Amino acid sequence: MYISRKVKIHQSYPKIQYSNSKIIEKALVSRISKYFEMNLISNTQFRFLKGAIESVITMITDVYCSSKNNESTPV
C-alpha cells in the first residue's frame, strides 16, 4: 500500500517538486542519523523521528498535490 501510494503521488505530482520533497526527507533523516551515531539519541528515538519525518513529508506532499489538482480542475 505504501509503495502504490508513492507511485500515485509521483504520477500526479510534478517530478521536480516530488524529488525536492525526497531531498528534504533524506537531509532530515541524515541529520538525525548523525545524532544517533554520536549516541545523542537512542535507536527507538531515531526510528520514531525517521517515521515522523517520512509521514510529515508525505502528508505535505499529499496536501499540496491535492490542492494543485483542485486548482486545475474546471468548475
Number of domains within the chain: 1
Angle between helices 15-37 and 43-72 (to 10 degrees): 170
CB-facing half-sphere around the CA of 38: CA atoms within 13 A = 7
In a domain, 22, yes or no: yes
Alpha helices in the chain (DSSP H): 2-12, 15-37, 43-72
Which residues touch 68 (CB under 8 Å, ≥6 apart)?
13
Q: Which pLDDT does position 73 carry in this prediction?
A: 45
Cell 483542485 locates to 70
In a domain, 9, yes or no: no
In a domain, 2, yes or no: no
In a domain, 69, yes or no: no
In a domain, 32, yes or no: yes
User: 40 or 74, which is more confident?
Assistant: 40
The pTM is what?
0.57
* Domain residue limits at 32: 16-62
In a domain, 71, yes or no: no
In a domain, 70, yes or no: no
Q: Which pLDDT does position 4 carry in this prediction?
A: 46
In a domain, 68, yes or no: no
